[in-house]
């Protein structure tokens, strides 16, 4: 139940950011809106799973919040949220692929600027679901441990 609430909250947050971007800055993706929705739902699932995993693996609520802030900022930064990945040193460009933000931003860029369709962004969406599977699996392991 709580994971679904986290997913819905994350999805609404992203939708509000996009809506404000459209209203204030005139954001209009040139590609498929279905593809954009699929990317955003996939990224929301990854972020929600990460939140649940951190909550289950942390010893306290404060530790979980601190870890989520640290991991979130590092993943966003290395993923290209603050500057383009192409401006990074070579090692950091390779490390960027370890961040779900990299894959989400890459796919959003393709839909927004390059007119990509759902099939065009299938690979980055698949990678996001791979992140989800790993993170959700780690959460499930800890959840089963807590129940025993």
- Are 22 and 28 in contact, with CB atoms under 8 Å apart? yes
Residue 148 has pLDDT above 60, yes or no: no
**What mean pLDDT is predicted for residues 110-136?**
97
Q: How far apart are the first and last CA of the chain?
A: 20
Residue 146 has pLDDT above 70, yes or no: no
According to the model, what pLDDT value does residue 142 have?
82
Predicted structure pTM score: 0.89
- Are 109 and 81 in contact, with CB atoms under 8 Å apart? no
Based on its alpha-carbon atoms, the radius of gyration of the chain, rounded to whole angstroms, reads: 16
DSSP of 105-124: HHHHHHHHHH---TTTTHHH
List, for residues 15-67, the tens digit of each pLDDT value. 999 999 999 999 999 999 999 999 999 999 999 999 889 988 888 888 888 88
Residue 145 has pLDDT above 70, yes or no: no
Compute the Cα dihedral for 119, 122, 8, 13 and give only its sign. negative
According to the model, what pLDDT value does residue 20 have?
96
Q: Which residue has the higher pLDDT, 64 or 137?
A: 137
- The model's confidence at residue 147, banded by pLDDT at 50, 70 and 90, is low
List, for residues 54-106, the tens digit of each pLDDT value. 988 888 888 888 888 898 898 889 899 889 999 999 999 999 999 999 999 99
According to the model, what pLDDT value does residue 58 have?
86
């Amino acid at each position: 139940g709580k994971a679904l609430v986290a997913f819905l909250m994350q999805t609404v947050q992203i939708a509000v950011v996009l809506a404000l971007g459209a209203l204030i800055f005139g954001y209009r993706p040139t590609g498929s809106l279905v593809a954009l929705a699929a990317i955003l739902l996939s990224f929301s699932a990854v972020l929600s799973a990460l939140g649940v995993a951190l909550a289950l693996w942390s010893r306290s609520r404060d530790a979980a919040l601190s870890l989520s802030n640290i991991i979130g900022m590092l993943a966003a930064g290395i993923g290209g949220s603050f500057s383009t990945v192409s401006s990074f040193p070579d090692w950091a460009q390779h490390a960027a692929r370890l961040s779900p933000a990299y894959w989400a931003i890459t796919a959003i860029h393709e839909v927004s600027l390059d007119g990509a369709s759902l099939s065009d962004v299938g690979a980055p969406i698949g990678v996001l679901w791979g992140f989800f599977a790993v993170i959700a699996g780690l959460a499930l392991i800890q959840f089963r441990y807590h129940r025993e």
